[in-house]
Amino acid sequence: MKAIVLFGSPGSGKGTQAKLLKKRLGIPHISTGDMLRERIRLDGELRAGVGTVMLSGALAPDQLVNRMVEDRLGRADAAKGFILDGYPRTLAQADELCRWLDKRGVREVVIYLAVDYNSIIARLMGRRQCLRCGTLYNLVSQPPKVDLECDRDGEKLVVRDDDSETVIRERLDAYERQTRPVLEFLRQAGRRVEEVAAGADSPEQVFEKICGIVLNHDRA
Protein backbone atom coordinates (compact mmCIF):
# COMPACT_ATOMS: atom_id res chain seq x y z
CA MET A 1 0.00 0.00 0.00
CA LYS A 2 1.29 3.49 -0.90
CA ALA A 3 0.52 5.97 1.88
CA ILE A 4 1.62 9.51 1.04
CA VAL A 5 1.01 12.35 3.48
CA LEU A 6 1.40 15.83 1.96
CA PHE A 7 2.25 18.31 4.67
CA GLY A 8 2.63 22.08 4.54
CA SER A 9 1.01 25.40 5.30
CA PRO A 10 -2.09 26.64 3.48
CA GLY A 11 -1.03 27.61 -0.04
CA SER A 12 2.08 25.43 -0.09
CA GLY A 13 0.76 23.47 -3.08
CA LYS A 14 -0.53 20.30 -1.40
CA GLY A 15 -3.68 20.15 -3.52
CA THR A 16 -1.82 20.66 -6.79
CA GLN A 17 0.75 17.99 -5.97
CA ALA A 18 -1.93 15.57 -4.76
CA LYS A 19 -3.76 15.83 -8.07
CA LEU A 20 -0.54 15.18 -10.02
CA LEU A 21 0.29 12.19 -7.81
CA LYS A 22 -3.21 10.80 -8.21
CA LYS A 23 -2.86 10.92 -11.99
CA ARG A 24 0.62 9.30 -11.91
CA LEU A 25 -0.04 6.62 -9.26
CA GLY A 26 -3.74 5.88 -9.75
CA ILE A 27 -4.58 6.14 -6.04
CA PRO A 28 -7.17 8.48 -4.49
CA HIS A 29 -6.47 12.03 -3.38
CA ILE A 30 -8.12 12.53 0.01
CA SER A 31 -8.49 16.19 0.93
CA THR A 32 -10.04 16.91 4.31
CA GLY A 33 -10.66 20.51 3.24
CA ASP A 34 -12.63 19.43 0.17
CA MET A 35 -14.58 16.82 2.17
CA LEU A 36 -15.46 19.32 4.88
CA ARG A 37 -16.56 21.97 2.40
CA GLU A 38 -18.78 19.43 0.61
CA ARG A 39 -20.35 18.19 3.84
CA ILE A 40 -20.96 21.77 5.00
CA ARG A 41 -22.60 22.57 1.68
CA LEU A 42 -25.01 19.64 2.05
CA ASP A 43 -25.64 19.79 5.81
CA GLY A 44 -27.28 22.94 7.13
CA GLU A 45 -26.64 22.07 10.77
CA LEU A 46 -22.97 21.42 10.11
CA ARG A 47 -22.77 24.64 8.08
CA ALA A 48 -24.07 26.67 11.04
CA GLY A 49 -21.49 25.14 13.39
CA VAL A 50 -18.30 23.87 11.75
CA GLY A 51 -18.77 26.05 8.68
CA THR A 52 -18.66 29.20 10.79
CA VAL A 53 -15.51 27.95 12.54
CA MET A 54 -13.74 27.26 9.24
CA LEU A 55 -14.70 30.62 7.75
CA SER A 56 -12.98 32.29 10.69
CA GLY A 57 -9.75 30.49 9.77
CA ALA A 58 -9.85 28.04 12.68
CA LEU A 59 -9.63 24.25 12.35
CA ALA A 60 -12.54 21.81 12.38
CA PRO A 61 -12.93 19.56 15.48
CA ASP A 62 -10.53 16.60 15.64
CA GLN A 63 -13.28 14.06 16.33
CA LEU A 64 -15.21 15.02 13.21
CA VAL A 65 -12.12 15.07 10.97
CA ASN A 66 -10.72 11.78 12.32
CA ARG A 67 -14.03 9.99 11.78
CA MET A 68 -14.39 11.43 8.29
CA VAL A 69 -10.86 10.35 7.26
CA GLU A 70 -11.23 6.86 8.73
CA ASP A 71 -14.50 6.35 6.84
CA ARG A 72 -12.87 7.52 3.62
CA LEU A 73 -9.82 5.29 4.04
CA GLY A 74 -12.15 2.33 4.48
CA ARG A 75 -13.48 2.59 0.94
CA ALA A 76 -12.43 0.05 -1.67
CA ASP A 77 -10.53 2.53 -3.87
CA ALA A 78 -8.08 3.26 -1.01
CA ALA A 79 -7.12 -0.40 -0.52
CA LYS A 80 -3.94 -0.04 -2.62
CA GLY A 81 -2.95 3.37 -1.36
CA PHE A 82 -3.95 6.98 -0.87
CA ILE A 83 -2.67 10.55 -0.79
CA LEU A 84 -3.61 12.58 2.28
CA ASP A 85 -3.87 16.33 1.74
CA GLY A 86 -4.50 18.50 4.82
CA TYR A 87 -4.40 15.68 7.35
CA PRO A 88 -3.14 15.46 10.03
CA ARG A 89 -3.32 19.09 11.15
CA THR A 90 -3.19 18.64 14.92
CA LEU A 91 -1.31 16.40 17.34
CA ALA A 92 -4.51 14.48 18.10
CA GLN A 93 -5.04 13.82 14.39
CA ALA A 94 -1.39 12.76 13.95
CA ASP A 95 -1.68 10.32 16.83
CA GLU A 96 -4.86 8.84 15.36
CA LEU A 97 -3.30 8.47 11.91
CA CYS A 98 -0.20 6.75 13.33
CA ARG A 99 -2.43 4.28 15.17
CA TRP A 100 -4.38 3.58 11.98
CA LEU A 101 -1.23 3.01 9.92
CA ASP A 102 0.50 0.87 12.54
CA LYS A 103 -2.54 -1.32 13.02
CA ARG A 104 -2.43 -2.19 9.32
CA GLY A 105 1.35 -2.36 8.99
CA VAL A 106 1.43 0.52 6.50
CA ARG A 107 4.72 2.42 5.95
CA GLU A 108 3.88 5.97 5.01
CA VAL A 109 6.08 8.76 3.67
CA VAL A 110 5.46 12.35 4.76
CA ILE A 111 6.29 15.02 2.18
CA TYR A 112 6.75 18.44 3.76
CA LEU A 113 6.36 21.24 1.21
CA ALA A 114 8.46 24.12 2.55
CA VAL A 115 7.47 27.62 1.36
CA ASP A 116 8.33 30.95 3.05
CA TYR A 117 5.62 33.11 4.64
CA ASN A 118 5.62 35.97 2.10
CA SER A 119 5.33 33.55 -0.82
CA ILE A 120 2.37 31.86 0.89
CA ILE A 121 0.54 35.19 1.32
CA ALA A 122 1.11 36.07 -2.34
CA ARG A 123 -0.09 32.67 -3.52
CA LEU A 124 -3.27 32.65 -1.46
CA MET A 125 -4.21 36.24 -2.28
CA GLY A 126 -4.01 35.37 -5.98
CA ARG A 127 -5.85 32.05 -5.75
CA ARG A 128 -9.10 31.52 -7.66
CA GLN A 129 -11.24 28.39 -7.98
CA CYS A 130 -13.83 26.95 -10.33
CA LEU A 131 -16.82 25.94 -8.22
CA ARG A 132 -18.04 23.49 -10.87
CA CYS A 133 -14.94 21.27 -11.26
CA GLY A 134 -12.86 22.43 -8.28
CA THR A 135 -9.77 23.39 -10.32
CA LEU A 136 -7.50 25.90 -8.59
CA TYR A 137 -5.67 28.72 -10.38
CA ASN A 138 -3.29 31.47 -9.32
CA LEU A 139 -3.48 34.80 -11.10
CA VAL A 140 0.31 35.18 -10.90
CA SER A 141 1.84 31.72 -11.22
CA GLN A 142 -0.92 29.63 -12.85
CA PRO A 143 -3.45 31.96 -14.49
CA PRO A 144 -6.33 30.68 -16.64
CA LYS A 145 -6.07 31.07 -20.42
CA VAL A 146 -9.05 33.44 -20.39
CA ASP A 147 -9.18 35.97 -17.56
CA LEU A 148 -11.20 34.63 -14.61
CA GLU A 149 -12.65 31.72 -16.61
CA CYS A 150 -11.96 28.02 -16.00
CA ASP A 151 -9.95 26.36 -18.77
CA ARG A 152 -12.01 23.18 -18.45
CA ASP A 153 -15.60 24.37 -18.50
CA GLY A 154 -15.63 28.16 -18.90
CA GLU A 155 -17.14 28.66 -15.44
CA LYS A 156 -16.42 32.00 -13.76
CA LEU A 157 -13.61 31.72 -11.22
CA VAL A 158 -14.21 32.94 -7.68
CA VAL A 159 -12.30 33.74 -4.50
CA ARG A 160 -13.00 31.05 -1.89
CA ASP A 161 -14.53 32.32 1.34
CA ASP A 162 -11.50 31.05 3.26
CA ASP A 163 -9.07 32.95 0.98
CA SER A 164 -9.86 36.46 2.21
CA GLU A 165 -6.84 38.27 3.69
CA THR A 166 -8.17 38.15 7.26
CA VAL A 167 -8.94 34.45 7.08
CA ILE A 168 -5.62 33.69 5.35
CA ARG A 169 -3.64 35.25 8.19
CA GLU A 170 -5.71 33.40 10.80
CA ARG A 171 -5.21 30.11 8.92
CA LEU A 172 -1.46 30.68 8.87
CA ASP A 173 -1.49 31.53 12.58
CA ALA A 174 -3.45 28.33 13.27
CA TYR A 175 -0.91 26.40 11.21
CA GLU A 176 1.98 27.77 13.28
CA ARG A 177 0.21 27.08 16.58
CA GLN A 178 -1.31 23.68 15.91
CA THR A 179 0.01 22.11 12.73
CA ARG A 180 3.75 22.82 12.59
CA PRO A 181 4.29 20.92 15.89
CA VAL A 182 2.87 17.87 14.12
CA LEU A 183 6.07 17.69 12.04
CA GLU A 184 8.21 17.37 15.15
CA PHE A 185 5.80 14.80 16.57
CA LEU A 186 6.09 12.68 13.43
CA ARG A 187 9.88 12.93 13.40
CA GLN A 188 10.13 11.95 17.06
CA ALA A 189 7.76 9.05 16.42
CA GLY A 190 10.26 7.69 13.87
CA ARG A 191 8.15 8.52 10.82
CA ARG A 192 9.88 9.26 7.55
CA VAL A 193 9.60 12.99 6.85
CA GLU A 194 11.08 14.36 3.62
CA GLU A 195 11.37 18.13 3.14
CA VAL A 196 10.91 19.54 -0.37
CA ALA A 197 11.69 23.19 -1.19
CA ALA A 198 8.50 24.24 -2.96
CA GLY A 199 8.74 28.02 -3.03
CA ALA A 200 10.72 28.88 -6.17
CA ASP A 201 10.26 25.85 -8.46
CA SER A 202 7.32 25.23 -10.76
CA PRO A 203 4.64 22.71 -9.70
CA GLU A 204 6.06 20.28 -12.28
CA GLN A 205 9.58 20.55 -10.84
CA VAL A 206 8.29 20.02 -7.30
CA PHE A 207 6.31 17.03 -8.54
CA GLU A 208 9.40 15.36 -9.97
CA LYS A 209 11.19 15.80 -6.66
CA ILE A 210 8.28 14.15 -4.86
CA CYS A 211 8.17 11.27 -7.35
CA GLY A 212 11.87 10.60 -6.70
CA ILE A 213 11.21 10.43 -2.96
CA VAL A 214 8.23 8.10 -3.39
CA LEU A 215 10.23 5.82 -5.72
CA ASN A 216 13.09 5.59 -3.22
CA HIS A 217 10.61 4.90 -0.44
CA ASP A 218 9.16 1.97 -2.40
CA ARG A 219 12.65 0.50 -2.86
CA ALA A 220 13.60 0.81 0.82
Average pLDDT, the chain: 86
**Helices H / strands E in the chain, number of each:** 10, 8
Residue of 19, 37, 127, 191 with catalytic role: 127
State the catalytic residue, choosing from 72, 89, 123, 128. 89
Residue type, 120: I
Per-residue pLDDT band for 98 (boundaries 50, 70, 90) equals very high
Instruction: Respond yes or no: is residue 19 known to be catalytic.
Output: no
Q: Which residues of 181-211 are buried (b: 16+ CB within 10 A; e: fewer)?
A: ebbeebeeeebebbebebeeeebeebbebbe
75 is catalytic: no
Among 22, 39, 47, 160, the active-site one is 160
CATH of domain 2-117+163-219: 3.40.50.300
Q: In the sheet that 157-158 helps form, which strands lie side by side, from edge to edge?
A: 136-138, 127-130, 157-158
Higher pLDDT pick, 161 / 51: 161
pLDDT digits (tens, 9 = 90+) for 27-78: 999 998 888 777 777 665 555 455 454 544 456 788 888 988 998 999 999 9
Active site residue 160: yes
Distance CA 144, CA 124 (A): 16
List the 29-31 sheet strands across, edge first.
Answer: 29-31, 81-85, 2-7, 108-114, 193-197
Whether residue 180 has pLDDT greater than 70: yes
pTM summary value: 0.78
Q: What is the pLDDT of residues 120-155, one digit of tens each?
A: 888 888 889 998 998 889 887 789 999 999 999 999
Task: Report whether pLDDT(212) > 60.
Answer: yes
- Of 49 and 156, the one with more pLDDT: 156
